[in-house]
């Protein structure tokens, strides 16, 4: 942090009497808002001044009664005006709980984990600081979980770009489903971001499910754990969430993470899944996404590979992926959705 930003931070903390506890964070409104809420919304925040007002307003303006929402926003050491904006909202709404971390962690994992730790509601959902909710989003998910007693509900996400909008993860939101096993949906593990889903808070806390401390793929590992522990889930075709992919939005860590760093994170998740010793059919469903989609499609079928003058780096990284397949007692390529990629693994084994 530059000297100018450091002095600005010190002045802000002094002006607003920000005092960090022994765990390294400051919290506003937690002791004031003691009424039991029905839904907790958790938003990790870092330098989000351009979009955070729209994000927060989308929660305040829900058709679900806002007084029954516990909204926890955890700021990871922002150096822009995000903290001033958060305090302003917290001063106006006692159920907006603002948390400031003393030190930046560099990943949304710790802010989300702290939000889970502080949550008191029956249900929990996640909303990124540059995205927003459909007006009926929380009410739709809440009503379905109350009706079914399922552990988890996922709905439709609309990705909003500068030129067009499109549905994300359509497989999980094109039809209404109730009381089903997550493993009955073929592509359920192909989209594991935090958007458009709500789950029982007790499921997460009882199984000690946490976001791992990674800049990338932390949400994959988290929601793999969530789905593994779900007895039954529901899906809905109702629009729940708007994902911000506008051209001027450069806040996403995904955009800031190098492809080789991403692959290192993917390999960690592969190793993690293998360490759980799951039933082979369940393991195949999960690993399919990590091998076929993340380790082949996203590594090689992209412009960064085509334009690269150091393709040997890609081959070396893929060889690391291949080493993880040696521990499997089956051919993972037989589970691929795209047959033309089945030969990719065997071709590299022959190198």
- pLDDT tens column, 210-232: 999 998 999 999 999 999 999 99
Domain boundary assignment for the chain: 3-148+193-229, 258-349
345 has a pLDDT exceeding 80: no
CA–CA dist 48, 83 (Å, integer): 9
Provide mean pLDDT across the span 58-68.
Answer: 97
Q: How sure is the predictor about 36, in pLDDT bands with cuts at 50, 70 and 90?
A: confident
The burial of 199, by beta-carbon neighbours within 10 Å (0-12 exposed, 13-18 middle, 19 or more buried), is given as buried
pLDDT of residue 350: 46
Q: How sure is the predictor about 349, in pLDDT bands with cuts at 50, 70 and 90?
A: very low
Contacts of 247 (CB under 8 A, 6+ apart): 161, 162
Q: Which of 2-11, 55-64, 157-166, 296-305 has the lowest mean pLDDT?
A: 2-11
Q: Which residue did the predictor score with more confidence, 333 or 201?
A: 201
Percent of the residues in the chain that have a pLDDT greater than 70, as a whole number: 92
User: Would you state the structure tokens that stand for residue 15, as one six-digit string?
Assistant: 């002006």
Contact status, residue 51 vs residue 63, Cβ threshold 8 Å:
no
pLDDT of residue 169: 87
Q: Which of 187-191, 192-196, 238-242 has the lowest mean pLDDT?
A: 187-191
- pLDDT tens column, 101-130: 999 999 999 999 999 999 999 999 999 999
90 has a pLDDT exceeding 50: yes
CA–CA dist 115, 27 (Å, integer): 11
| 3-class SS shares of the chain: helix, strand, coil, % to 5 | 45, 20, 35
Strands 96-101 and 25-28: antiparallel
Class of domain 3-148+193-229: alpha beta
Q: Which of 19-28, 42-51, 242-251, 268-277 has the lowest mean pLDDT?
A: 242-251
Contacts of 312 (CB under 8 A, 6+ apart): none
CA–CA dist 168, 158 (Å, integer): 6
SS3 60: helix
Q: Which residue did the predictor score with more confidence, 50 or 337?
A: 50
The burial of 234, by beta-carbon neighbours within 10 Å (0-12 exposed, 13-18 middle, 19 or more buried), is given as buried
Contacts of 81 (CB under 8 A, 6+ apart): 49
């Amino acid at each position: 942090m530059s000297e100018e930003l450091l002095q600005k931070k010190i002045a802000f903390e002094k002006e607003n009497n920000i005092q960090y506890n022994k765990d390294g964070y400051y919290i506003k409104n937690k002791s004031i808002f003691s009424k039991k809420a029905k839904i907790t919304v958790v938003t990790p925040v870092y330098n989000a001044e351009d979009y955070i007002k729209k994000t927060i307003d989308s929660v305040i303006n829900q058709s679900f009664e806002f007084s029954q929402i516990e909204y926890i926003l955890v700021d990871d050491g922002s150096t822009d005006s995000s903290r001033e904006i958060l305090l302003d909202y917290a001063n106006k709404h006692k159920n907006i709980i603002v948390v400031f971390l003393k030190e930046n962690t560099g990943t949304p994992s710790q802010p989300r984990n702290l939000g889970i730790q502080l949550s008191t509601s029956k249900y929990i959902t996640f909303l990124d600081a540059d995205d927003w909710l459909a007006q009926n989003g929380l009410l739709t998910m809440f009503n379905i979980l109350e009706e079914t007693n399922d552990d988890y509900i996922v709905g439709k996400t609309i990705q909003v770009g500068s030129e067009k909008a499109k549905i994300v993860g359509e497989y999980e939101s094109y039809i209404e489903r109730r009381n089903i096993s997550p493993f009955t949906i073929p592509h359920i593990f192909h989209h594991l971001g935090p958007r458009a889903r709500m789950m029982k808070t007790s499921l997460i806390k009882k199984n000690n499910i946490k976001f791992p401390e990674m800049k990338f793929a932390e949400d994959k590992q988290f929601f793999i754990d969530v789905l593994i522990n779900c007895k039954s889930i529901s899906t809905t075709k109702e629009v729940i969430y708007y994902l911000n992919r506008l051209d001027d939005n450069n806040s996403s860590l995904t955009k800031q993470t190098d492809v080789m760093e991403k692959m290192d994170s993917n390999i960690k998740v592969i190793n993690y899944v293998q360490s759980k010793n799951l039933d082979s059919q369940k393991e195949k469903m999960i690993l399919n996404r990590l091998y076929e989609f993340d380790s082949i499609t996203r590594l090689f079928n992209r412009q960064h590979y085509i334009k690269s003058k150091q393709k040997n780096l890609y081959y070396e990284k893929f060889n690391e992926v291949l080493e993880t397949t040696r521990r499997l007692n089956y051919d993972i390529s037989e589970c691929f959705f795209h047959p033309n990629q089945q030969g990719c693994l065997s071709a590299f084994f022959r190198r």
